[in-house]
């Protein structure tokens, strides 16, 4: 049988074959296994190195970037001489030096709605090693559509998160139905990062894939592992599949979109809101500021301070009801809108620029 280990493989992997939970049988499963890593950066580097070292038979890497010198502080797949080279080419070379017994497929392109399904279809599972929200949603949706697990990792400053998403246990969209507003979504290009943290999180992603493939241990499905490397505090948070989830509740109907960053229809401008109110459009207006701010001046609607949005009895019973939230600047209401979407409200709009924009564009007499 093709999957049988050669003497060379027996020798190379002996230290993990010695684990009774793995053995020759487990090693053969890894040899037959395949995994796609989206992103060959800070998370992808350690994940790919460990997956290759462990003997996962076929490894795909998709990334359109070239290596730059400021990547080297955390992207340990690359060395100084790789600067300027395509990441996928440098990664393939490095991984084959580590383990020439593997098949490494590379895709020097950006993941998009047009190529995602075709590429994903060839692999058992997908490692999400990206640093931006639009790709993260695309990975989630394409993988859920094809019924492949996603081994998720993300970092911010000194904290990291790891999870495994699937149709059965819930997905990224169950947790965050919509991408956040861009200004609330820093990536590590702007936020800064200590290289060890993606090293730890990316290693965890590889670990979860190996456990899943081997069928051993507890997998982080329906759970998020959150770690803080400054304090050493780590927590496991449980989450449930959202029965209203746009992705995993109706996976066959998922429509892939390439750029799923904040879509313009999630916000409404002050003049457009004025028009909608004048036309007596059926909408629920929510002021999510504090009571004292509301009393000083408001544009009507229900007062529902942002901290009290969850489980509030004044919220409409109909989940498709059009809701417009506002606050002073648009930031608190963006978070409240996000929370309402998480609760299942499908038609939530944020007043862009808040009442500051309203005062500027609609009513200069509004007291703030
Ligand atoms: Zn879901």
Instruction: Tell me what pLDDT residue 254 has.
Output: 86
What are the domain boundaries of the chain? 33-253, 264-361
- Over residues 212-233, the mean pLDDT reads 96
Count Cβ atoms below 10 Å from residue 117 Cβ, excluding itself. Answer: 15
Asked if the model's pLDDT at residue 184 lies above 60, the reply is no
Give residue 350 CA to ligand 1 midpoint distance, Å.
23
Give residue 23 CA to ligand 1 midpoint distance, Å.
35
Asked if the model's pLDDT at residue 6 lies above 90, the reply is yes
Alpha carbon distances (Å) from 259 to 135, 182, 256, 298: 8, 12, 9, 35
Asked if the model's pLDDT at residue 261 lies above 50, the reply is no
pLDDT in tens, 92-103: 999 999 999 999
* Confidence band, pLDDT 50/70/90 cuts, at residue 218: very high
Lowest mean pLDDT among 56-70, 203-217, 270-284, 327-341: 327-341
* Confidence band, pLDDT 50/70/90 cuts, at residue 1: very low
The catalytic residue among 171, 245, 248, 327 is 327
Q: Same CATH topology for 33-253 and 264-361?
A: no
Asked if the model's pLDDT at residue 214 lies above 90, the reply is yes
* Confidence band, pLDDT 50/70/90 cuts, at residue 258: low
pLDDT in tens, 126-170: 999 998 888 999 999 999 999 999 999 999 999 999 999 999 999
Quickly name the fold that domain 33-253 has. Rossmann fold (3.40.50)
pLDDT in tens, 16-31: 999 999 999 999 999 9
Q: What is the 3-state secondary structure (H, E, C) of 26-52?
A: HHHHHHHCEEEEECCCCCHHHHHHHHH
Q: How confident is the prediction for the chain on average, in pLDDT?
A: 91
* Ligand 1 ion: Cβ-proximal residues, 5 Å cutoff: 171, 173-174, 245, 247-248
Task: Round to whole Å and give the CA distance between 271 and 363.
Answer: 10
- Over residues 229-258, the mean pLDDT reads 90
Task: Round to whole Å and give the CA distance between 165 and 151.
Answer: 7
Residues sharing a CB contact under 8 Å with residue 76, sequence separation 6 or more, in sequence order: 45, 46, 49, 195, 199
Asked if the model's pLDDT at residue 315 lies above 90, the reply is no
Give residue 243 CA to ligand 1 midpoint distance, Å.
8
Instruction: Tell me what pLDDT residue 186 has.
Output: 55
* Confidence band, pLDDT 50/70/90 cuts, at residue 187: low
* Confidence band, pLDDT 50/70/90 cuts, at residue 183: very low
DSSP readout, 75-101? -TT--GGGTTSBHHHHHHHHHHHH-TT
Contact 172, 140 (CB under 8 A): yes
* Rounded-to-5 percentages of helix, strand, coil across the chain: 40, 20, 45
Instruction: Tell me what pLDDT residue 164 has.
Output: 98
What class has domain 264-361?
alpha beta
Is residue 171 among the annotated active site residues? no
Give residue 325 CA to ligand 1 midpoint distance, Å.
25
Instruction: Tell me what pLDDT residue 178 has.
Output: 79
* Confidence band, pLDDT 50/70/90 cuts, at residue 264: very low
Instruction: Tell me what pLDDT residue 260 has.
Output: 45
Is residue 188 among the annotated active site residues? yes
Contact 210, 30 (CB under 8 A): yes
Give residue 171 CA to ligand 1 midpoint distance, Å.
4
3-state secondary structure of 156: strand
Give residue 330 CA to ligand 1 midpoint distance, Å.
27
Higher pLDDT: 45 or 308? It is: 45
Tell me which DSSP letter residue 139 carries: H
**Based on the number of CB atoms within 10 Å of its own CB, is 265 exposed (0-12), middle (13-18) or buried (19 or more)?**
exposed
Instruction: Tell me what pLDDT residue 181 has.
Output: 61
The catalytic residue among 174, 188, 245, 248 is 188
Nearest to 201 by CA among 155, 269, 151: 155
């Amino acid at each position: 049988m093709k999957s049988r280990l050669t003497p060379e493989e027996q020798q190379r992997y002996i230290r993990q074959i010695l684990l009774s939970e793995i053995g020759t049988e487990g090693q053969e499963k890894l040899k037959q296994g395949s995994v796609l890593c989206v992103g060959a950066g800070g998370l992808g580097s350690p994940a790919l190195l460990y997956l290759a070292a462990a003997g996962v038979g076929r490894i795909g890497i998709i990334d359109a970037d070239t290596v730059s010198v400021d990547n080297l502080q955390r992207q340990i797949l690359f060395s100084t001489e790789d600067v300027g080279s395509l990441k996928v080419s440098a990664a393939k070379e490095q991984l084959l030096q580590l383990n020439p017994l593997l098949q490494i497929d590379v895709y020097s392109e950006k993941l998009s709605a047009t190529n995602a399904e075709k590429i994903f279809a060839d692999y058992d599972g997908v490692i999400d090693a990206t640093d931006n929200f639009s790709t993260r949603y695309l990975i989630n949706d394409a993988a859920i559509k094809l019924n492949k697990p996603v081994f998720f990792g993300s970092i911010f400053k000194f904290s990291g998160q790891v999870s495994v998403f699937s149709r059965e246990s819930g997905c990224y969209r169950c947790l965050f139905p919509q991408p956040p507003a861009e200004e609330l979504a820093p990536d590590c290009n702007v936020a800064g990062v200590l290289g060890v943290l993606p090293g730890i999180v990316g290693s965890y992603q590889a670990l979860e894939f190996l456990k899943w493939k081997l069928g051993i241990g507890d997998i982080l499905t329906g759970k998020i592992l959150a770690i803080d490397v400054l304090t050493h505090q780590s927590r496991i948070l449980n989450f449930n599949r959202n029965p209203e989830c746009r992705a995993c509740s109706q996976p066959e109907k998922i429509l892939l979109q390439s750029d799923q960053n904040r879509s313009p229809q999630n916000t409404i401008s002050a003049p457009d809101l004025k028009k909608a109110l004048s036309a007596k459009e059926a909408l629920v207006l929510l002021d999510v500021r504090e009571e004292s701010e509301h009393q000083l001046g408001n544009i009507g609607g229900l007062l529902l301070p942002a901290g009290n949005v969850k489980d509030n009895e004044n919220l409409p019973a109909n989940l498709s009801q059009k809701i417009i939230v506002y606050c002073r600047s648009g930031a608190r209401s963006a978070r409240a809108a996000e929370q309402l979407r998480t609760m299942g409200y499908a038609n939530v709009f944020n007043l862009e620029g808040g009442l500051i924009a309203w005062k500027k564009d609609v009513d200069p007499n509004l007291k703030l």
